[in-house]
Copies of this chain bind each other. A is one copy, B any other.
Amino acid sequence: MLVLSSPSGAGKTTLSRALLDSDNEITMSVSMTTRPPRPGELHGKDYYFVSTEDFGIMRNKEELLEHAKVFGNYYGTPRAPVEAALAEGRDVLFDIDWQGTQQLDDTMPNDLVKVFILPPSAQDLERRLNRRAQDSADVVASRMQKASDEISHYQEYDYIIINDDLEKSIEELRSILKAERLKRHRLTGLANFVKRLRDAL
């Protein structure tokens, strides 16, 4: 379970997509939200878009691994698809904020790898936020505040990527995933492999 968090505008979505495109063993966890879709966003791909009522039902039935309210909208991670992917031996990528990460760490603490993406500079972040034409100036201003809040939680993460070069950052993210898969405790069947090896020597 790989968690990617970052302030909005630090390039996390681009990085997630690049990782998913280049790695067959990882599945994206699609979040559920009560906010309306932005132009181009697809139900089931970018988010599951649901009503506030349906969201509340899911939450009350403990069918969400984590959930939070941001700018008046609810966001959450449906439990079933994550558990299904893990049962198949697949890795799961989560694009969630610090609140979601803390909750996920609570519900599924065993095997969480937490990566925080930082922008190279405040100017860079501001520029990328302004480029999202569909957001109003007010929304951009409150996103800057939220970015600062999000960044304040960087110490809760295992790895830090400073996204000053997209290609380099993708390579770094791939390396983290590759290295984490080589961690001894994640290699299933290793004890038997070693036993057979030693028996044959």
Q: How far is the CA of A200 from the CA of B193 in the complex (A)?
A: 53
Q: How far is the CA of A176 from the CA of B175 in the complex (A)?
A: 7
Partner of A152, one of B160, B184, B198: B198
A74 an interface residue at 8 Å Cβ cutoff?
A: no
Contact code string A10-47 (vs B, CB < 8 Å = 1, else 0): 00000000000000000000000000000000000000
A58-66, A102-110, A121-129: which lies at the interface: A121-129
A80 an interface residue at 8 Å Cβ cutoff?
A: no
Q: Chain B nearest CB: distance from A30 CB in Å?
A: 26
Chain B residues whose CB sits within 8 angstroms of the CB of A144 once the complex forms: 201
Chain B residues whose CB sits within 8 angstroms of the CB of A159 once the complex forms: 179, 182-184
How many copies the complex holds: the figure is 2
Chain B residues whose CB sits within 8 angstroms of the CB of A152 once the complex forms: 194, 198
A137 an interface residue at 8 Å Cβ cutoff?
A: no
Contact A187 B160 (CB under 8 A): yes
Q: Which residue of B lies closest to A155 (CB)?
A: B184
Contact B182 A172 (CB under 8 A): yes
Contact B161 A194 (CB under 8 A): no
21 A-B interface contacts by CB (under 8 A): A118-B193, A118-B194, A119-B197, A121-B197, A123-B200, A125-B201, A126-B201, A151-B194, A151-B201, A154-B194, A158-B184, A159-B179, A159-B182, A159-B184, A162-B193, A172-B179, A172-B182, A174-B175, A175-B178, A176-B182, A179-B180
